[in-house]
Amino acid sequence: MHGTTTPKTLPFSPRKVRDRAAGEAPWAAAIGPAAGGDAAEIMLSTLIVVESAVVVTSAVVAHWMRYRSIHLPATYWFATLLGATLHANGLIATRIYSFVQRPHPPYRIGTLLLGWSAVILLMATVMYFGRMSDEFSRTWLALWFLVAGGGLLATRLAAVAALCRWRRLGRLSIAVALVGTERMLDCLSTRLGTVGGQYQIVARFRLASARSGHSAELRRAIGEIYQLVQSERLDEIIIAVPKITPAALDALVQSLGMLPVTVRLCRSTLGGGNLALVAGTPMYSVLNRPLCGWDRVVKRAEDIVLGSLLLLLLLPLMIVVAVAIRLDSPGPVLFRQNRYGFRNNLIRIYKFRSMHWTACADPAAPQAVRGDPRVTRVGRFIRATSLDELPQLLNVLRGDMSLVGPRPHPVALNERFAAIIDNYMARHRVWPGITGWAQINGLRGETDTIEKMRLRVEHDLYYIENWSLAFDIRILLTTVVKGLVGEKAY
């Protein structure tokens, strides 16, 4: 299956189970719609950080209560950081934070306070036998124990209260679409319903044949799933079939690998993939969503912080470019164009207008070529220096784009290459970017051959599979050093 081509008739009947929970958590607006599993992971990680911060802050407060000073000696700081580390790792080892995943989370106050007491007792023992007790105030240690205990108690009560509320509103549920035979769908739906709202079935696709291992039948479900991903929040797709052939699995990975979802196989006879228990049912994870959990938060924070800073620093230059465009040729300063973005949804990107306005008005106009007469005098300069891309910082702050990612292509170009290049649409599993791994490796400008676009896609997929914050910083720095001006920018 190539690109966005979808069958017009389907041999199964999709049955909508229920709408997804209304709204996202208030803090989710800054990072985009988060998956339920992502939200739980983010909350768990945040709670660990907050409780560790409570321990450190309590040590400072205790020092102020004892000495009326917040300037801790180096030995006190060492003890404080050691205590926070022991506390966090001890609770992780005892799986006390597993309550985040439970439908009715226990407070586990006793375990929490017992763990903190064990940390203080261990540190006091080490101080005594290490003959370091004279260097520390026993009053400070007692005050630290009491203040931190109260802070940890208050933090845990607030966290569980928020967790219960968000779970009631469905904000922590994992949105799942099921594809399979009627019998297996009913069984799996029952299993998923026993874990107290952790999973929310947004759609079921019933396969007409009991022999569901045929790759052609599975591929026919892709068109409906693509539409679902564009209209619903979808985190996982579970393929529930009695048997699936290697050929069918290959077709499944190639087709669903273009979507930003996790794909699991239920009751598969194949031995590949990562085995996991989902609602007590063994499944193989054959595809995992990119940029999930904290990676997503880090990526969005990077865009907001660096995007805002770049916009402020470059604002005077952008004003100069806007004035030059206005004086050079009639027409608006900004050029707006629809392009495909995350989840294959249309976004409207902003660029400085570099062509005569009559040429810009045609949405099906071909790519610019070297010496293109449509390009204005100012346009040649801002295209050669990539200054025409600067307004896309507004797209980044809006959440339509990222600073780093696969470059979004015009609709006509996108649809053309999606039909002839395998895995082309997998570029839309993450947010498009102003710059990217392909661009800093010389794959920019006109794509007049299939091979040029295929190389660009290969670099984009490599970036998606190997994303890290350090990788993004490397791409941004390389873009500043050598990526803004090049012989292929025209």
The 10s digit of each residue's pLDDT in 407-416 is: 988 888 888 8
Regarding whether 147 and 264 lie in a shared domain, the answer is: no
215, 262, 266 from 249: Cα distances, Å:
7, 14, 12
Q: Cβ atoms within 10 A of the Cβ of 312, count?
A: 10
Residue 103 lies inside a defined structural domain of this protein: yes
Q: For residue 102, what pLDDT is reported? A: 59
Q: How confident is the model at residue 19 (pLDDT cuts 50, 70, 90)?
A: very low
CA triplet 140, 145, 150: central angle to 5 degrees?
Answer: 125
286 vs 2 pLDDT, higher one:
286
From 432, 297, 321, select the one nearest 378 (Cα to Cα): 321
Q: Are 257 and 288 in contact (CB under 8 A)?
A: no
High-pLDDT (> 70) share of the chain, %: 74
Residue 26 lies inside a defined structural domain of this protein: no
HSE (CB half, 13 Å, CA atoms) of 64? Answer: 8
Residue that terminates a domain, selected from 168, 194, 212: 168
80-84, 294-298, 319-323, range with the lowest pLDDT: 294-298
Axis crossing angle, helix 109-129 with helix 138-168, rounded to the nearest 10 = 160
3-state DSSP assignment of residue 224:
helix
3-state DSSP assignment of residue 422:
coil
pLDDT in tens, 171-180: 677 788 888 8
Rounded Cα gap, residues 4 and 419, in angstroms: 7
Strands (E), 370-462: 402-404, 433-435
Regarding whether 150 and 185 lie in a shared domain, the answer is: no
Residue 387 lies inside a defined structural domain of this protein: yes
Beginning with the edge strand found earlier in the chain, give each strand of the sheet holding 13-15 in spatial order.
13-15, 199-206, 174-180, 236-240, 262-266, 281-287, 274-278
Regarding whether 185 and 150 lie in a shared domain, the answer is: no
Residue 478 lies inside a defined structural domain of this protein: yes
Rounded Cα gap, residues 283 and 275, in angstroms: 6
Q: For residue 23, what pLDDT is reported? A: 31
Rounded Cα gap, residues 436 and 401, in angstroms: 12
Mean pLDDT for the stretch of residues 98-120:
76
Mean pLDDT for the stretch of residues 374-403:
90
Residue 426 lies inside a defined structural domain of this protein: yes
Q: For residue 403, what pLDDT is reported? A: 95
Q: For residue 100, what pLDDT is reported? A: 59
Which residues, in sequence order, are CB contacts of 128 under 8 Å at separation 6+? none
Regarding whether 62 and 141 lie in a shared domain, the answer is: yes
Which domain, by its residues, includes 350?
Answer: 294-483
Regarding whether 306 and 215 lie in a shared domain, the answer is: no
Regarding whether 351 and 395 lie in a shared domain, the answer is: yes
End-to-end C-alpha distance for the chain, whole angstroms: 34
Q: For residue 61, what pLDDT is reported? A: 95
Residue 28 lies inside a defined structural domain of this protein: no
Residue at token pair 């004003």 = 319
Residue at token pair 């799986």 = 95
Residue that terminates a domain, selected from 116, 141, 168: 168
pLDDT in tens, 28-76: 223 333 445 566 667 777 888 898 999 999 999 999 999 999 999 988 9
Strands (E), 68-212: 174-180, 199-206
Regarding whether 63 and 211 lie in a shared domain, the answer is: no
pLDDT in tens, 184-203: 788 778 877 765 567 778 88
Q: Is the pLDDT of residue 417 over 90?
A: no
137 vs 20 pLDDT, higher one:
137
48-57, 259-268, 421-430, range with the lowest pLDDT: 259-268
Q: Is the pLDDT of residue 467 over 70?
A: yes
Q: Are 262 and 235 in contact (CB under 8 A)?
A: yes
Q: How confident is the model at residue 80 (pLDDT cuts 50, 70, 90)?
A: very high
Q: For residue 345, what pLDDT is reported? A: 81
Q: For residue 271, what pLDDT is reported? A: 43
Q: What is the secondary structure of 14-74 as a DSSP string?
A: EE---PPPSS--GGGGGT-SPPHHHHHHHHHHHHHHHHHHHHHHHHHHHHHHHHS-----H
Rounded Cα gap, residues 449 and 455, in angstroms: 10
Regarding whether 437 and 314 lie in a shared domain, the answer is: yes
Mean pLDDT for the stretch of residues 280-290:
64
HSE (CB half, 13 Å, CA atoms) of 400? Answer: 20
Q: Is the pLDDT of residue 110 over 90?
A: no
- Total domains in the chain come to 3
Regarding whether 339 and 435 lie in a shared domain, the answer is: yes
Backbone angles phi, psi at 410, to 5 degrees: -55, 150
**How many residues can be counted in the chain?**
490
Residue at token pair 């709408």 = 19
Q: Please provide the average confidence, as pLDDT, over all residues in the chain.
A: 77
Residue 4 lies inside a defined structural domain of this protein: no
Regarding whether 299 and 277 lie in a shared domain, the answer is: no
Residue 7 lies inside a defined structural domain of this protein: no
Q: For residue 34, what pLDDT is reported? A: 43
Q: How confident is the model at residue 319 (pLDDT cuts 50, 70, 90)?
A: very high
Mean pLDDT for the stretch of residues 250-271:
70
